[in-house]
Structure 1
Amino acid sequence: MKTYPIPMVPGPVRVPAAIRNVYLESYGSGDLETDFIELYTRTQRRLKEIFTTRDDIVIMSGEGMLALWSALKSCLVPGDRVLAVATGVFGYGIGEMAQSLGADVKIVGFSYDETINDLARIEAAIAEFKPRMITAVHCETPSGTLNPLDGLGRLKQTYQVPLFYVDTVAGAGGVPVLADDWQIDLCLGGSQKCLSAPPDMSFLSVSPKAWEIIEAVGYVGYDALKPFHQAVENRYFPYTPSWQGVAALFVAAGLLLEEGLTNSFDRHARVAAHCRQRLAGMGIDLFPAADAVSSPTVTAAKIPNGFTWAQWDQRLRADGLVVAGSYGPLADKVFRLGHMGSQADMALVDRALDVVAGAL
């Protein structure tokens, strides 16, 4: 199996030894052991700090998409109105996911090189459509953008929209997430981005209003949230929980909190600025447009003239660097460097950019 000494994909990121070592240990059955319940609740408290929330935290065994589907299936019934605010692949995709469940979806769409910049248009759509749920993506990794969410939170509160659903899988831990201040009811995260754990766990915050709706909907399935409402209290989970996965999240969140969230945010911002400055100095065009908000966790840039994506990817891999292409309208047009979590490291980024410079 081919490995690369300079990993720069925007998740899964390289896993630090302290987190890897968790998977070498043997544990009992999570739903039978008091030690697991204690670990689970301690991990919940750490994740609450990262989300800046007092709401409940649910930790699930499965990659970040599990949380995205779980929150939709557990809260929506056919005919429910969903307003999807979309600036990229995942924003539009979440609208399509809700539509596949029978929801009545209205999309307020922006270009892939934009971030949320027209609250008046969104407000008009909310006033006319009267949605049950608003959805948004915090960090659009395929575009390298970061959406401001405080304005959507104010609109949610003003118009008394029952649910605000936010995907911050690629943001949490690398940029501030203020779930309570932003009025978020379902704040969704994953283990493999800024927390630097393997891609096997997802987690989300659930507000009291969301729990009320989840109980009323009563969705039943592997990805259902309802069984987690009383799981800790009843010491009974809907499936055998991953003790190693929860332990890895506990260690990963602990490393972030030990560093200090403000210090982590500063580290991500410094590395991102340095990455973009060097790329621009090489004559590589950055993506998105200058007036959009670029994410501190991932940089997107246009594939250099004279290369297809396949040729560019092959050239970089030949010197040990692995980056990512993109999806949807950006496929074969941009490449991305994931400086998130353990990869928000100046020395690693410089090694990557040295390879990029050599490839040119």
Structure 2
Amino acid sequence: MQTYKIPLVPGPVSVPQKYREAYLTDYGSSDVEDEFFALLSDNISLLRRVLKTKNDVAIGSGEAMSALWGAMKSLVGPGDKFLTISNGLFGHGFGEMAEALGARVEYLEAPDGEFVTAEQTRRKISEFGPDFISAVHCETPSGLLNPLAEIAPAVAESGAIFIVDFVASALGADVRVDEWGIDIGLLGSQKCLSILPDIHATTVSERAWKRAARVNYAGYDALLPWKNVLKTKAMPYTHNWHANKAMNLSLKDSLEEGLENGFRRHEEAAALCRRRAKEMGLSLYAKDEKLSSPTVTAIMIPDGWTWEELDAEFRKEGLAVGGSWGKLAGKVFRIGHMGSQANAELVKRGMDVVEKVISKKL
């Protein structure tokens, strides 16, 4: 493992010392201590404020993918009609998960670097009649922030359960769970929360709970056992007290900064990144800059370079960025300006390195 002078990987992000210190306290057992349940309750209240929801929030241990799989297995079953709205790896992955669970899946795919329109969404819903609709707010591998508010009315009219991944957008961009009609919303810790990848949160609407009760999935990652955990104080497993404390610190810091101020900080870091990239003659993956995420920017790898060569040169200069996966593997590199890394000075230093490196082949 190596620590880099200029950390701009799009998650897991650099963890501030204040949050790392939360792991140094020798906490008791989360199963029996009232103090832990007070902390858990506070985190739930803070997340409701941040995500603009009155829905329940289930906080569990594990990286964000465990929340995603747990929610899918808790609600989706054989024969269910599942519509995946996709313009990237994670969006498409929702459908693949649903297929693995026996659902009848159809995909509404957007062209490269774009997102589907409300009319396309309505038409597909009318043709298919889905029980579930999934979408990703921030497609991290492609640096796109998808305008979910534009398709939300069509989803609401359909009556389908709406499942949304906002792992890489929440706290870096506005997320409105109730206004957008999100029944299941997924949040990870290692992006804008800027803590370790060991805790997650799921927002759950009442009708999503009813669906979970009908499916009654009983796996270790099941969602249903978290429904009344604050009342029963009977958790499905021993919780991560340390991570909950770190989450509490991060959420309070975000609210103290002010959500709008935090969004502005992310937008300014992103705008600087995109401006510098274009000044170097580099191309963004996003076809419309309005779709560029404030938390991560995907830049096309310039002619004459491979990702492996570029990555090696960046690392020599102390810069760590991300590559990508799927069809974008080897085609883009990504700057992660999210959470603790949404810092204009840090991004400037990173882009200075990018300019220095690519100039070697101009």
Q: What TM-score do the two structures reach when normalised by structure 1?
A: 0.98
Q: Residues 145-175 of structure 1, C-alpha deviation per residue, up to 9 Å, x if partnerless?
A: 01111233211221222x1000000000000
Q: Does 1:173 align with 2:167?
A: no
Q: Which residue of 2 aligns with 1:279?
A: 277
Residue 111 of structure 1 deviates from its aligned partner by: 2.3
For residues 72 and 8 of structure 2, the distance between their equivalents in structure 1, rounded to whole angstroms, comes to 31
Q: Which residue of 1 aligns with 2:133?
A: 134
Matches within 5 A, 1:188-203: 188-203=186-201
For residues 159 and 283 of structure 2, the distance between their equivalents in structure 1, rounded to whole angstroms, comes to 42
Aligned residues of 2:184 and 2:204 also touching (Cα < 8 A): yes
Q: Which runs of 5+ in 1 are unaligned?
A: none
Aligned residues of 2:156 and 2:181 also touching (Cα < 8 A): yes
For residues 166 and 112 of structure 1, the distance between their equivalents in structure 2, rounded to whole angstroms, comes to 20
Residue 287 of structure 1 deviates from its aligned partner by: 1.4
Q: Which residue of 1 aligns with 2:254?
A: 256
For residues 5 and 168 of structure 1, the distance between their equivalents in structure 2, rounded to whole angstroms, comes to 28
Structure 1 runs of 4+ aligned residues shifted over 4 Å read: none
For residues 73 and 328 of structure 1, the distance between their equivalents in structure 2, rounded to whole angstroms, comes to 24
Q: Which residue of 2 aligns with 1:100?
A: 100
Residue 112 of structure 1 deviates from its aligned partner by: 3.2
For residues 338 and 219 of structure 1, the distance between their equivalents in structure 2, rounded to whole angstroms, comes to 36
Sequence identity (%): 46
Q: 1:61 to 1:335 in 2, by over 3 A?
A: same
For residues 295 and 17 of structure 1, the distance between their equivalents in structure 2, rounded to whole angstroms, comes to 26
Please tell me the residue identity of whatever aligns with 1:219.
Y
Q: Does 1:346 align with 2:340?
A: no
Q: Which residue of 2 aligns with 1:91?
A: 91
Aligned residues of 2:114 and 2:288 also touching (Cα < 8 A): no
How many residue pairs are counted as aligned between the two chains? Answer: 358
For residues 111 and 96 of structure 1, the distance between their equivalents in structure 2, rounded to whole angstroms, comes to 19
Matches within 5 A, 1:143-292: 143-161=142-160, 163-290=161-288
Please tell me the residue identity of whatever aligns with 1:304.
P
Matches within 5 A, 1:53-92: 53-92=53-92
Q: Cα RMSD (Å) of the superposition? A: 1.0
Aligned residues of 2:64 and 2:200 also touching (Cα < 8 A): yes
Q: Secondary structure at the match of 1:142?
A: helix
Please tell me the residue identity of whatever aligns with 2:259.
L
Q: Which runs of 5+ in 2 are unaligned?
A: none
For residues 98 and 227 of structure 1, the distance between their equivalents in structure 2, rounded to whole angstroms, comes to 22
Residue 292 of structure 1 deviates from its aligned partner by: 5.6
Residue 89 of structure 1 deviates from its aligned partner by: 0.5
For residues 339 and 291 of structure 1, the distance between their equivalents in structure 2, rounded to whole angstroms, comes to 16
Q: What TM-score do the two structures reach when normalised by structure 2?
A: 0.97
